[in-house]
Amino acid sequence: MKILITAGPTREYLDDVRFLSNASSGRMGYAIAQSAIAAGHEVILVSGPVALPVPAGCEVISVEGTREMYDACLENFPACDGVIASAAVCDYGPCERFAGKRVKTGGPITIELVELPDIIAELGRRKAHRWSVGFALESQDAHQRAVEKLHKKNCDAIVLNRTTAIGAEDNSVELIDASATTVARWTGSKIDIADQLVEWITTHLAD
């Protein structure tokens, strides 16, 4: 298979120095890319800014912003069999980017945020014969919110993990299939979880 994988955070710049982002390390997405390559699959990795070595044998497309990741995914998805969207993208960004570095004013400032494109939802709309696997990082009503995302984004499966996964070497996840059934629970290193996820996809989603 040829698999599109997204990984890492995105950054939305407030000015030329400051940005909105999150603490995602990209380890889960990079582990999935490594596992997929080891299993004999071809990988296109669309990665936000991370401090990780690129897995050998992987085509990597480096991006910063959510719109950049969106464009790269839409461009490359038609040539792939499926997508695993593990990136922690920014849902909102500033309406306008301030040119230069914003200086202190001595008082509060207001920044207007706008909603950014939903990458996995758009790929779900366009997937046709392809498959899509999303990730949901939740803290409250975790299972229900993951199921809602599964259906809203037209995924074939979704991986539910918690906020403790951010920046950690290990993870504990729940895999939910298209029928909203929990089909697996995995705990361990991110590479071990990646191996099991790639094996499940190969068995259940690949033609």
Helix crossing, 66-76 with 119-126: angle to 10°?
20
Among left, alpha and beta (phi > 0; psi -120 to 50; other), residue 167 is left
Instruction: Specify whether 22 is catalytic.
Output: yes
Q: What is the DSSP code (8-state) at residue 165? A: G
Of 22, 76, 154, 161, the active-site residue reads 22
CA distances (Å), origin 103, targets 14, 18, 98, 113, 124: 12, 11, 11, 19, 42
128's CB contacts (< 8 A; 6+ apart) are none
Name 9's bridge partners: 88
Catalytic residues: 22
